[in-house]
Amino acid sequence: MTIPEHVKKILGTLNREGFEGYAVGGCVRDAVLNRVPEDWDITTDATPEEVKRIFGRTLDTGIAHGTVTVMLGKEGYEVTTYRTDGEYSDGRHPDYVTFTPSLKEDLKRRDFTINAMACGLDEQVIDLFGGREDLLRRVIRCVGTPEERFHEDALRMLRAIRFSAQLNFDIEPETWRALCGQTENMRKVSRERIFSELNKILLSEHPEKLALLISSGMGKYLDISAEELLCSEEIAALPKQKHLRWAALCSNLSGEGAGAVLHSLKSELETERRVLLLVREMKEKLPENLPQMRRKLAAIGPDRMEDLIILKQFGFGSQSSEQEVFCARQRKAAVLEAGDCISRRTLTVSGKDLLKAGVRPGPPIGEALDYLFQLVLNEPELNEKNVLLQRLEEKRRREKE
C-alpha cells in the first residue's frame, strides 16, 4: 500500500528520533481496499510530550487519550501514543487509558479486525488479527471476544452496522450474535453519537443496511419507530444529502412523526425542519398546473420543491407517475425561468403603496397584500403596481355594493 508524503515525513521523523511510528486504523483499511482514506491517523510509542518536543507545530487535541495533532502546512495529522483502555464501567468510555510500548496492545483495543491494522514507513501491513483476510471475505469481525467488546462500548454495535453499510460487508456470525444479544446497551450511548452513526449509514453506498437495526432489535433503543422506517434500497439512488435520505427513510411517518424522530436524536434544527416539511409534502400530489406550482414554490421555495420532485422520482411518498414527475420539473423550470413573482418581496405593491392608496394600517394591509399576492400567483402578468392597485380598488367597490 502507498502512504502519502506528509505521513511518510511524520513516520520518518519519529523513526529518526528513535521511536516507532505507523499509519493505523481506518486509513490502512481504506488503502488496502483501494479506497481514498478520509484522514491518516498515526500511532507511536512516543509519549505525547515527546511528540510535542519532536514536532514544531502541534495542537493538544486529546492529550488525556494520548492524541496530539501534528501540523504540516495547513494539514493536521493525529498522532496518538500506543495505549490500552482500562475498565469500561459505564459501557461507553474507558475509566482510564494507559500508555504502552507495545503496538500489539494498541491494535488489540481496536474495534474490528479490519480497523486493527498498521503500516510503517516500509509500507508493509502489520496485521495481527486477520484483518486482511476479513477484508477479502468482506466481513466485520470484532477483535477478541465480541460479547466483551460490545459490553465495553455499546457504540461499537452501531459502528459494526455503519461499516457494513459503508463497505457493503456482512457482519460475521459470532459478532452478529453478540450484537443481537446486547442491543439494550444502546441506551447508554448518547443521542449525538447515535445520530452521527445513523447519518453515516444513511449517507453510505448501502443505506438499506439500516434494516440491520431492526433485525438486530436495536431499533427500539434508538427512539426511532423502527417498524415504520422504510429501509428500501431505493434510498441508495437518492443524492447523498442528509435531509433527502432522512425524508425517504421516514416517508411512512407523518411529518410531525418524522420531525419528532429527528428532534429526539438531537438533529440540527435545519435538518429537522426540512425533513418534517418534505415528509408532509410528499403525501400530496405534485403541482399539476402553473398556478399550483407558483403557489407551492411560494410556500416551500425552489430548493425544497426540487427535493420533493427527486423524492417522487425515486418512488417515495404518494405515488407519482414518470409523466407527472417530468411535467412538475418542466413547470418548476418554466416558473423560475420566466421570473414569475413567487415571493412577496417581488410583489410590485408594498405596504407603503397601500397606505398611500388609503388602506387602513394594521391587519387590512396584510389582508390586501395577501389578496394581491394570490392574484399574482394565478396570473403573474398582473404584477404591475397600477394594475394591482386598480384590482384592489375594484375589490373594495364590489364589497361596498
Block residue for cell numbers 487519550: 65
Q: For the window 289-328, what string marks contact with ligand ATP as x by the rule CB under 6 A? A: ----------------------------------------
Asked if residue 83 binds ligand ATP (CB under 6 A), the reply is no
- The whole-angstrom separation of Cα 285 and Cα 305 is 12
Please select the residue that binds Mg ion; options are 26, 66, 255, 259, rule is CB under 5 A. Answer: 26
One-letter amino acid of 305: M
Please select the residue that binds ligand ATP; options are 153, 197, 340, 353, rule is CB under 6 A. Answer: 153
- The whole-angstrom separation of Cα 304 and Cα 218 is 32
Q: Cα-flanking dihedrals φ and ψ of residue 180, to 5°?
A: -65, -30
Asked if residue 197 binds ligand ATP (CB under 6 A), the reply is no
Q: By CB under 6 A, which span of 111-119, 297-305, 317-325, 349-357 interacts with ligand ATP? A: 111-119
Please select the residue that binds ligand ATP; options are 43, 113, 115, 182, rule is CB under 6 A. Answer: 115
Closest approach, Cβ 261 to ligand ATP, in A, equals: 23
Question: Which candidate, 271, 276, 274, places its Cα nearest to that of 306?
Answer: 274
Q: For the window 154-193, what string marks contact with ligand ATP as x by the rule CB under 6 A? A: -xx-------------------------------------
- The whole-angstrom separation of Cα 154 and Cα 193 is 11
Q: How many residues bind ligand ATP (CB under 6 A)?
A: 11
Asked if residue 38 binds ligand ATP (CB under 6 A), the reply is yes
Closest approach, Cβ 7 to Mg ion, in A, equals: 14
The grid coordinates of residue 156 equal 461499537
The grid coordinates of residue 303 equal 430548493
What DSSP character marks residue 204?
S
Beta partners for 99? 83
CB burial string 83-115: b at 16+ within 10 A, e below: bebeebeebeebeebebbeebeebbbbbbbbbb
Q: By CB under 6 A, which span of 57-65, 151-159, 276-284, 346-354 interacts with ligand ATP? A: 151-159
- The whole-angstrom separation of Cα 137 and Cα 33 is 12
Nearer to ligand ATP, 37 or 217 (CB): 37
User: Could you report how far apart the first and last alpha carbons of the chain are, in Å?
Assistant: 86
Distances (CA, A) of 271 to 255, 279, 350: 13, 12, 33
Q: By CB under 5 A, which span of 22-30, 105-113, 130-138, 375-383 interacts with Mg ion? A: 22-30
How many other CB atoms sit within 10 Å of the CB of residue 6? 14
Nearer to ligand ATP, 115 or 383 (CB): 115
Closest approach, Cβ 27 to ligand ATP, in A, equals: 7
Closest approach, Cβ 166 to Mg ion, in A, equals: 11
Closest approach, Cβ 209 to ligand ATP, in A, equals: 15
Q: How many residues bind Mg ion (CB under 5 A)?
A: 1
The grid coordinates of residue 278 equal 418534505
Q: By CB under 6 A, which span of 55-63, 134-142, 153-161, 227-235 interacts with ligand ATP? A: 153-161
Q: Are 115 and 25 in contact (CB under 8 A)?
A: yes
Chain residues binding Mg ion by CB under 5 A are 26
Chain residues binding ligand ATP by CB under 6 A are 25-26, 38, 41, 110-111, 115-116, 153, 155-156
